[in-house]
Structure 1
Amino acid sequence: MSDLRLYSLLLLFVSIIVPSAAAEARFPMVKPGCRETCPGNNVLIPYPFGIGRDCAINETYVVTCNHSSNTTSSKPYLSKLNLEVLNVSLSSQTITVRTPVPQTCAGQANNTRWNSSDLSGSPFFYSKDDNKLMLFGCGNALLNQDHDHQVLSECTSTCNISRSITGCYGINCCTTSIPFYINKYILNYAITEFNNSCASAFLADQRWTPKRFSDLFIQRSLESVPVVLSWTLQRSDIRAIPGCSQSNRPLELESGKIYSQQCECETYGTDTFAIGINPYLDDECYYEDFAGFVEGKKNKTAAIVGSSAGVGVVFLMIAAYASYKIVKKRRNKKRQEKFFKRNGGLLLQQQLSADEGAVEKTMLFSAKELNKASDGFNKNRILGQGGQGTVYKGMLTDGRIVAIKKSKKVDENQLEQFINEVVILSQINHRNVVKLLGCCLETEVPLLVYEFIPNGTLFTLIHTGNNEELPLTWNLRLRIATEVAGALAYLHSAVSIPIFHRDIKSSNILLDEKYVAKVSDFGTSRSVAIDKTHLTTVVKGTFGYLDPEYFQSSQFTEKSDVYSFGVVLAELLTRQKPISSAATDETCNLSLATRFLISMEEDSLENILDPQLVNEENEQEVTAVAKLAQRCLNLNGKKRPTMKEVVIGLESLKLSSVHSTTPGNFQSPSCTEGESFVFFNNNYTWTTEGDSFRSASDVHPLLNKH
């Protein structure tokens, strides 16, 4: 029997047994005797929220109706927070509220402003998935969790009043994501003096855009914006609800992970919300599902008619189930095909067919294969979470352990660039670069598969105290620095199309089972033609590692990666964080890079150096690396060395450290600009003059030795 005939019989059967009144039935969303909306307002307030104390699950979920003057209409307000409610979603467990927008204008006494929000003690958090940090006007904004914590997110826009604004891309307006669910933050923002302009910085719903972009530059009329709050429930809140299947909903906070209880009907699971049932109400989960059609408790007539059908009913149910499985399989296949096309799968196939070598190196995984490998993307398999997505540990059918990165949605306007990067990165073969094994594009968001690196990040090794199994000795620091420099030099110079990483930091440097460094997280990397810069519309990177030149000009060059590497060198030398509250009162507002440069200029390196490195036999080597870090951190990008030159210097020092019993083979580079100094060891002789390194040996064999 064909699928179409089975489906036709199913429809005929259902049309007989399901009364027409059932199609018109509507499941209640509030407790009996409670209002669904405020008078004159169409915002639905479903339980566990409620209009009035007796209609909500507890007092923090109480909504009040505030009447406007001279009108009979009213607006719903979340009573505890005194914020207007715009929408409540049971499926995503969020509530959208309207929040006020602070503003500052050029010419005021102080162009720097800050605003804060504190939801501590409430069951609400600012959703990281649904909100964005926005800055209207030109200047910069920094999002902190509190005064003493590191920056969570930052956004910068430049002034151009003559340019027609059609979106928020870094000209007169900028936007960026927030990394965690937060319930308390401080937002600092400063505006650039320009034509008496005004600026506002705030968190807003990801889907929200201003009605008129022309008002961005001087927009004194912007008073409020929507923002999305995730609401959390404790197990005690829903323990008494019959028929409710309790499930954990993880929320990632900066301080760790918490779990909110979510209610689903046992019969339908996650389909509860699609059917339109409110699982938080006592009676609503008690509905029977017949062949995909929902029948209420009150429609008992249908059940009687159904049972009288006897053997015919059994046959039709079997046919209906078979039809359901076939339809579901076809629907999943069409869905996967849709995602494959949307995520650039056809474009990737074209790239692979055009490059026979890439076919061997780029592997397309199926959604089923990666779902099995990650145990259904089990939360217990999560290795980490960042701005680009969530990483899960998985095991392929051939036994290989891999890291599966569930990316955020890819901008459809940048699909060609995304696919091009997947192909390029999959062909990178360097022992100090995490290998991209392949990808899966038939899921809602792209899945990238990398080799698994077991020993965490360099950030953890540096900043969480000495590893008893592997102390952070000078030789280990020098080796890791050399390996990372070699990887960057390879990306910049030894591949067919140079690649700029754009987010070099110690937390993006992984350590394998032998503590060999592996550069990872190419989510913001770019392939750039030789001798070209990359002009971006939105500054991307991590605060504390960002090249100041890039921050100002939005032009990313290979020297921007060099600056970020200089910060990593400073971390290795000082064991201090790039942005830290551990600094002294005089330097508490300065980054590690700035404090490091000041110490070098004042010839007081010992004041900032890791005490473990002070007064050791390798003092001259430490000084040499500090000098190299100083050059990498030069505010003038043209005066920074290339990564080729950096790796030559570090390789020379590493070999000198291995082959020398005393530091006598190394002359400390204490020269000033314009002078030169020479490094000697048994294998290399190389010099520096002014601002450029010159090697006596060919550098290419060094770079390609891997």
Structure 2
Amino acid sequence: MVVIIASSFTFLLLLIINIALVLATTSTAISGAKDWCKDSCGNVSVPYPFGIGPDCFLNSWFEVSCNESSTPPTILKKINMEVFNFSYDLGYGWEYLRVKSPVILHNCSGRERETKNQTVHLTGSPFFYSGRNKFIAAGCNNKALIAGIKPRIVGCESTCNGDTLFGTSNPNKTCNGSTCCETVIPSYLQTFNASFESKTSSGPQGCKLAFVVDEEWLNFNITNPSDLLNMDSVPALIDWALPNGSTPLISSESVQSYVMYTSESSNISWRYVCSDGYRGNPYLPIGCQDIDECEEERHKISCGDATCVNVPGFYRCEGSKTWIIALGVGVGCGVLSLVMGGWWLYKLLKKRRNVKLKKKFFKRNGGLLLQQQMYSHEGSLEKTKIFTSKELDKATNNFNNNRVVGQGGQGTVYKGMLADGRIVAVKKSIAMVVEEVEHFINEVVILSQVNHRNVVKLLGCCLETEVPLLVYEFISNGTLFQYLHDKSEEFPLSWETRLRIAKETAEALWYLHSSASIPIYHRDIKSSNILLDEKFKAKVSDFGTSRSISIDQTHLTTHVQGTFGYLDPEYFQSSQFTEKSDVYSFGVVLVELLTGERPIFSLEREKEGRSLATHFISSMEENRVMEIVDARVVGQAKDDELMMVAKLAYRCLSLSGKKRPTMKEVAIQLDQILPLLKDSNVDHHHNQEEIVDLKLDLPFPWDSTSSSINSSFFSRNICSIEKEPLEGTK
């Protein structure tokens, strides 16, 4: 019994495969216009949803204009394309149009005017070039590209190494790259124009051409390159779908529908085919008619000595063996349905679970609060994007370890590429407790409005994951720490570059402290948080937005504990962070730039003090600071220029926050020191008149070692600086 059932099931499968193969090789013209409507134009059949005349087409996209005096006589009116024929493939169940597509010419004497303004524009329509087309370019020394599909580049090159247009060395390839080349076109291509370049300036500069063409037509109709030079157009296949909301009135019993996407913007469109056992026009109410399979010889043979009986959509064999076949078919279909149903149910439940989980994470991570904040800011956050987890999974190759570009106490940073081609840094934060959600969202809102050339831009976030994901612009050239302390770096930073990086970092902190919409304290300034772009411009990063934040009456501060070696001693003792705490950390960075030393010494140097800041202060007070200056920059700057920076760093490292300068004062002085270095012929005595004086309370008189700047540089107070009470110390 089992053998009989298995044999019956095998027989059924072979029968189905046979039917599919027969249908796959059958292609015919679809017929069937709406009642009382004209069903052809000349010798071209016009099936619904296309139509000629009022109420004969589905919508305006499918209106056909008929002019039987032209060749071809039919025109798709709205997109103004001439149609050779409308076809429907019975095997694969898709429809297409064969239309006139332009041949774009370049440097063809007397021909360019005929093909001018031949660009095809289908954007916004339900039509697009079929994947059965090929992009063809011909001509010597030719590099042709499909224009207007940025950021992708699609095209090919031809050389003239052969004397025929179409190659014969590879029978599966129409053009061999000699005088003619070919390539596939992008999916759902809706615009077409071509641009041309010469591969070499010394090569031939003759006539060049490019076009999109039906590959099958090209293979059977063109054998000589001169044929193309005399053609204004070629046949191309245009695919189409029904836009969402344009569903025609059709019977569901004999028609199957499926979803397709007609553009990269993922607009949903629909297609219809007649169900198995039916033929006809699936877009008409009763367009799909049952086929009498018993009239076909192969079905009679498959029934053997039983009688073939047609039923809607199929047939059955009645007679002595009918019950065996029916049982085999029933068991086979039952098992197949059970397996397929179980798999479908599993996928459905998994998908619903993932959707619910994403909604849960989105709500838990403050997504509703962030949306509310974005609406309340009246468009000021319009550039901030809430990314989906699917977008960032694709951008980072599912957060592959090969994409990791940094790790720390705040989380892991991955390099990724968005769908629009932008390179970004995706920060996968550490876990966040419920109490921190409101603070986290408030900080994302504030930092999204930060716009400074020396601050890494926050592009958006993703809240659908277990831990929040932050998306920043990607800075390509590593960190300042790497260039100062990594001995493997081949290109050490010059003194001028170091001073410029210090100035740019100071300007960024000045902006955060006083120019942003709400003052922001960074709380973790260090050389590893100063990124460098391809031009070695400074970018301040890592605001700790993945951690909790605290908001007082006027200020927002990121809740980062700080890094040993950079931590403000006054903050360490009082647990009260102020803008002067950032100034202290910046002072340590200045000393790193000056000395090339790490902020924390190794155990071997414990006698000099464990921290660079302590060692520097003692060197300043013992008047031996020049002994610790980085040997790599000693010859690049004069002693007095190095001393100016050292005195500024000394002031920033004052144990009393009140005695430290503001970041505004630091940025202004660095901005005025930098020109002195760029021009060694500058009259330093003249420039000192414009430099803001930052008095240093040092316990000893400085020696007069400078030949270009006298002691009045730091004793004269040219620009009065009002000492304001410290903010945020209430």
TM-score by length of 1: 0.50
Match of 1:394 among 389, 402, 416: 416
Is 1:457 matched up with 2:483? no
Equivalent-residue separation in structure 1 for 2:716 and 2:579 (angstroms): 20
Could you report, residue by residue, the CA deviation over 1:362-397 in whole angstroms, capped at 9, with x for unpaired residues? 111010000000001111000011101111010000
| 1:564 matched residue in structure 2 | 585
Distance 1:630 1:583, change over 3 A: farther
SS in 1 for 2:382: helix
Match of 2:504 among 483, 486, 489: 483
Could you report, residue by residue, the CA deviation over 1:248-281 in whole angstroms, capped at 9, with x for unpaired residues? xxxxxxxxxxxxxxxxxxxxxxxxxxxxxxxxxx
| 2:607 matched residue in structure 1 | 586
Distance 1:316 1:533, change over 3 A: closer
SS in 2 for 1:448: strand
Distance 1:448 1:532, change over 3 A: closer
Equivalent-residue separation in structure 2 for 1:670 and 1:437 (angstroms): 38
Equivalent-residue separation in structure 2 for 1:661 and 1:531 (angstroms): 47
Equivalent-residue separation in structure 1 for 2:556 and 2:384 (angstroms): 27
Instruction: Give yes or no for contact 2:661–2:694 (8 Å, CA) kept in 1.
Output: no
Equivalent-residue separation in structure 2 for 1:670 and 1:326 (angstroms): 69
| 1:29 matched residue in structure 2 | none
Is 1:510 matched up with 2:531? yes
What is the Cα deviation at residue 481 of structure 1? Answer: 0.2
Equivalent-residue separation in structure 2 for 1:535 and 1:443 (angstroms): 22
Match of 1:441 among 459, 463, 487: 463
Equivalent-residue separation in structure 1 for 2:558 and 2:462 (angstroms): 29
Match of 2:697 among 665, 673, 687: 673
In structure 2, what residue type is equivalent to 1:427?
Q
- Where structure 1 has 5 or more consecutive residues not aligned to the other structure, the ranges are 1-306, 678-685, 697-706
Instruction: Give yes or no for contact 1:499–1:527 (8 Å, CA) kept in 2.
Output: no
What is the Cα deviation at residue 527 of structure 1? Answer: 7.0
| 1:649 matched residue in structure 2 | 669
Equivalent-residue separation in structure 1 for 2:614 and 2:579 (angstroms): 21
Equivalent-residue separation in structure 1 for 2:652 and 2:696 (angstroms): 15
SS in 1 for 2:413: strand
Distance 1:477 1:431, change over 3 A: same
What is the Cα deviation at residue 472 of structure 1? Answer: 1.4
- Greater displacement, 632-641 / 325-334: 325-334
Distance 1:366 1:617, change over 3 A: closer
Instruction: Give yes or no for contact 1:457–1:509 (8 Å, CA) kept in 2.
Output: yes
Is 1:368 matched up with 2:393? no
Instruction: Give yes or no for contact 2:460–2:472 (8 Å, CA) kept in 1.
Output: yes
> Which structure has the larger Rg?
2
SS in 2 for 1:540: coil
In structure 2, what residue type is equivalent to 1:573?
L
What is the Cα deviation at residue 613 of structure 1? Answer: 3.2
| 1:627 matched residue in structure 2 | 647
What is the Cα deviation at residue 336 of structure 1? Answer: 0.2
Distance 1:671 1:424, change over 3 A: closer
Instruction: Give yes or no for contact 2:405–2:413 (8 Å, CA) kept in 1.
Output: yes
The within-5 A match list for 1:106-255 is none
Instruction: Give yes or no for contact 1:634–1:640 (8 Å, CA) kept in 2.
Output: yes
Could you say which structure has the greater relative contact order, defined with CA pairs below 8 angstroms and 6 or more residues apart? 1
The alignment covers a number of residue pairs equal to 378
Distance 1:533 1:438, change over 3 A: closer
| 1:694 matched residue in structure 2 | 720
The within-5 A match list for 1:41-440 is 310-440=332-462
Distance 1:615 1:310, change over 3 A: closer
In structure 2, what residue type is equivalent to 1:406?
K
Instruction: Give yes or no for contact 1:498–1:529 (8 Å, CA) kept in 2.
Output: no
| 2:514 matched residue in structure 1 | 493
Match of 1:636 among 650, 656, 659: 656
Instruction: Give yes or no for contact 2:544–2:558 (8 Å, CA) kept in 1.
Output: no
| 1:155 matched residue in structure 2 | none
In structure 2, what residue type is equivalent to 1:328?
K
Instruction: Give yes or no for contact 1:421–1:527 (8 Å, CA) kept in 2.
Output: no
In structure 2, what residue type is equivalent to 1:417?
H
What is the Cα deviation at residue 412 of structure 1? Answer: 1.1
SS in 2 for 1:490: helix
Could you report, residue by residue, the CA deviation over 1:422-459 in whole angstroms, capped at 9, with x for unpaired residues? 01111111010000000000011101000000110000
SS in 1 for 2:499: helix
Report sequence identity in percent: 59
| 1:548 matched residue in structure 2 | 569
Distance 1:578 1:492, change over 3 A: same
| 1:600 matched residue in structure 2 | 620
In structure 1, what residue type is equivalent to 2:494?
T
- Where structure 2 has 5 or more consecutive residues not aligned to the other structure, the ranges are 1-328, 703-711, 723-730
Could you report, residue by residue, the CA deviation over 1:640-662 in whole angstroms, capped at 9, with x for unpaired residues? 00000000000001123234525
